[in-house]
Amino acid sequence: HPPPTSKLLLIVDRLTQFETFVTTNATNQDWNRFTDTLTMDLNSLNAKFKKVAGGASTVFNRAVQFTEEKLGTAEKTELDAHFENLMQRSDKTKLWTETLVKQTDTLLQPNPNQRMEDLLYVKLDKKKKDRITQYEILGNAMVDAGNDFGPGTAYGNALVKCGQAQIQIGNAERDFITTTANNFLQPLSNFLEGDMKTILKEKKILETKRLDLDACKSRLRKAKSAGTQTQAEADLRVAQSEFDRQSEITKILLDGINSTHAHHLRCLNDFIEAQLTFFAQCQQYMTDLQRQLGS
């Protein structure tokens, strides 16, 4: 942390005023006002430095505790089995939700360059481009080829009809992509960007509170004098209280994973329904095409 520069500059300014008082005939009232103001500024500066020093000491104690735990020379407060299971389940939920989002995104848009472009539009909060699907591109090519060969010819007529079916499939695919993005992909992404980030933040805070607690326990064990022991016991009570409070906050969030799984299950059913509709439409279009071609 940098020193409170503005306060230091203010003190320098006060000392400059002091030189002025020395070289002029200042009244007692002026002197009293000056000394009161200078005292307030010094007290404020002292409080700020104490706050910075206290924060640095806390960070240092955490670092020492963490290092000693890694070296196996310090005890570590363990969470109960139920809490550990909740933590592991949240980790699994994060891992597999990220995987599902990534693979679903790849399914909906196989082209990595276009995926990056779409991501950029999302980051800029702009509407993504409406792209023509590969089925539509193929369908348009078939229709153009059929018209060029002549729709009156057997081959040309078949190309036109096949192209029209491909365009229909392309339209159905666009609907499937939109539905899946809105009803499956977006909710899972929202969870990762919202609730999951909150859980990670609170888990990190819990870990710092746990380090503070164990550092206090370590200081109490090492306390020699009665005064040091009394202070260590007081610090330990505060650390234990903060750890217990943060444990409850984190546990409430971790318990919320049950609701998350239930919500994601509904989203999964929406995805299945969208996929079923898409495949059924494709089958219907191809069945109709086959009938039209008389084969």
- Of 172, 177, 149, 173, residue with least CA distance to 161: 149
Predicted confidence at residue 294, as pLDDT, reads 87
What does the angle CA 74 – CA 53 – CA 246 come to, to the nearest 5 degrees?
A: 55
The CA-based dihedral angle spanning residues 78, 83, 89, 95, taken in that order and rounded to the nearest 10 degrees: -50
Checking if the pLDDT of 21 tops 60, the result is no
User: 3.20.20.450, 1.10.260.40, 1.20.1270.60, 3.10.105.10: which CATH number matches 81-293?
Assistant: 1.20.1270.60
Predicted confidence at residue 25, as pLDDT, reads 56
CB distance 167 to 135 below 8 Å: yes
Per DSSP, the chain holds a count of helices (H) and strands (E) of 10, 0
Neighbours of 9 (CB within 10 A): 10
Predicted confidence at residue 52, as pLDDT, reads 47
Predicted confidence at residue 66, as pLDDT, reads 74
The Cβ-side half-sphere exposure at 261, using a 13 Å CA radius, reads: 10
Give the global pTM: 0.74
- d(C-alpha 217, C-alpha 239), whole Å: 9
Average pLDDT score over residue span 71-99: 93
Name the region of 125 (left: φ>0; alpha: ψ -120 to 50; beta: rest): left
Region of poorest pLDDT, from 104-113, 142-151, 216-225, 256-265: 104-113
Amino acid 15 reads: L
| Token digits of residue 61 | 């104690």
| Token digits of residue 270 | 């929406």
Eight-class DSSP state of 270 = H
Predicted confidence at residue 128, as pLDDT, reads 67
